[in-house]
Amino acid sequence: MTIEEALQIALDAHKGQKDLDGKPAILHPIAVGIMGGNDAEIKAGFLHDVVEDSDLTLDDLRRKGVDEEVLAALELLTHDNTTDYFEYVHSIARSGNCTAIHTKINDLKHNLDRGRKSYKKAKELNDIEKSERLAKINEKHQKALDIFGYMPLYDDGRSRDGQPVPMFSRSFSSTEDAR
């Protein structure tokens, strides 16, 4: 499957959907896909929300010709709501599937970036309810990024604590070790 075909599946699956700010939902998967470092990560980025947010299943995507490497990543990236969110993120981090790991990091980075912008706008508009909701969502995304050892850099290249931090600074052998 080509990158363009994966993008078309995502466009069709997210048609008419809106995000929390009322923007077309497809903008997020496009951003995550563009952040990918190779073809598999780009395709996985475009498709990462399709199973959660549409009627398509992994089997449907397989029938449409999505590569097995991408399908394996999408299986890890699809959150089953019966699983605790942070256990789900830990399972991706422990999986060893670089496509899934990189795509999830890109997903979280983009979510955190747009969440911070929306939070700032809500604060400027004195929308207390929305700013409080966004603060909780942003905290959740940052905590999830921390599972991967990722710390966002400020514009001058420093991390939050002023030190460079490797993206994958730790590995997890069990749920207890990860917490």
Over the chain (179 residues), the average pLDDT of each successive run of 10 is 98 94 94 97 98 96 98 97 94 95 96 89 89 90 88 48 43 42
> In whole angstroms, what is the distance from residue 120 CA to residue 128 CA?
11
> In whole angstroms, what is the distance from residue 37 CA to residue 111 CA?
18
pLDDT at 15: 97
> In whole angstroms, what is the distance from residue 174 CA to residue 163 CA?
27
- Convert 65-96 to b/e letters by CB count within 10 Å (16 or more is b): ebbebbbbbbebbbbeeeeeeeebbbbbbbbe
The domain 3-178 is classified under which CATH number: 2.30.30.110, 3.40.1260.10, 1.10.240.10, 1.10.3210.10? Answer: 1.10.3210.10
- Return the beta strands (E) in the chain as ranges: none
Q: Tell me the CB-side half-sphere exposure of residue 111, using CA atoms within 13 A.
A: 23
pLDDT at 118: 87
Instruction: Supply the DSSP symbol for 54.
Output: S
pLDDT at 66: 98
pLDDT at 161: 46
Give the burial class of 179: count Cβ atoms within 10 A of its Cβ; 0-12 exposed, 13-18 middle, 19 or more buried: exposed
> In whole angstroms, what is the distance from residue 55 CA to residue 79 CA?
15
Those residues whose C-beta lies under 8 Å from the C-beta of residue 7, and which sit 6 or more positions away, are 30, 33, 46
In the block, which residue shows the tokens 């809500």? 122
- Enter the pTM of the model: 0.81
pLDDT at 84: 95
pLDDT at 158: 44
